[in-house]
Structure 1
C-alpha cells in the first residue's frame, strides 16, 4: 500500500513538473522579437554603465526606449518574459541566442575600433556624478590624512 501511494505521489509530481504552469498570454511577444528586445536591453544597460551621460542627454530610460521601439507596454513584456521563464530550458536557449548575437557584434565592433587610429578614439567621458564622487572621496582622504598627521604629531609631544 505504501509503495502504491509513493508511486501515485511521484506520478502526480512528475506530471505537474512537466506541464507549463504559466498560461500563454494573449499578446505574447514572439521568440525572435523577444531575442531582439533582450539584446537591446543588454546593449542599453552596457551603455548606461559605461557612459550614463549619453542616456541622460537623450532624456530616455532603457525601458521607455524598448517600449517605444517595439510598440509594447510593460505588462506585455512582463507577461511574455514570465511565460518564457516558466520553461527554463527554452529560456536558456533564448538567452544563448542573445549571447551569440552579442559576441558576434562585439567582434565586429572590436575590429572597427582596431582600425580606428588611436588619436581619433575618444577617451571615456566621466560624468558629473562620478567626478563629484571622486572629488568627495579625495577631499575626505585629505581630511583623514591631515587628522592622522595631527594625531601622530600630538602623540609625539
Structure 2
C-alpha cells in the first residue's frame, strides 16, 4: 500500500511539473497579433465615410500564418502563464506598430511637401467665372 501511494504521488508530481509548450513560436505569435491588431484598427474606422476600408477577417489572418483558431488560443493560454514571455511578445507587437506608424507619417509628410510646392502657379490658371 505504501508503494502504491508513493507511486501515485510521484505520478502526480511529474504530471504537474510538466509544463505545456506552445505550438506557435513567439515570432509567429508576434506576426499574428500584429496582423490582428491592424485588422481590428481597420474595423474601428469602418464607420467613417472618408476612409478606404481594408477589413480582413480574423480567420483569414490565422490561415495566412498557417494556424487554426484552436492552436492560437492554446498558444495564448501557454504564453499567458509566463507573464515575462507574454510581455516580450506584446512589446514586440507594439514596437512593430510604432515603426509602421512612423513610416506612414513620414510618407504623409513627403506627399504634403509635394502639395505645398505646386508645379503650376495659381496666376497661370485662367478664371472663367468669378463670384461677385
- Distance, in Å, in 2 between the alignment partners of 1:78 and 1:23 is 13
Could you list the per-position Cα deviations for residues 80-107 of structure 1 after superposition, in whole angstroms to 9, with x for gaps in the alignment? 1111111111101110011111111110
Residue in 1 aligned with 2:120? Answer: none
TM-score (norm 1): 0.53
- Distance, in Å, in 2 between the alignment partners of 1:87 and 1:98 is 17
Ranges in structure 2 where 5+ consecutive residues have no aligned partner: 1-15, 116-132
Name the count of aligned residue pairs. Answer: 96
1:101 and 2:96 aligned: yes
Residue in 2 aligned with 1:14? Answer: none
Give the root-mean-square deviation of aligned CA atoms. 2.7
TM-score (norm 2): 0.62
User: Structure 2 vs 1, CA of residues 21 and 38 (structure 1 numbering), >3 Å: closer, same or farther?
Assistant: farther
* Range that drifts further, 76-85 or 46-55: 46-55
The answer to whether the 8 Å contact 2:59/2:69 transfers is no
Which one has the bigger helix percentage? 1
Residue in 1 aligned with 2:87? Answer: 92
- Distance, in Å, in 2 between the alignment partners of 1:107 and 1:30 is 27
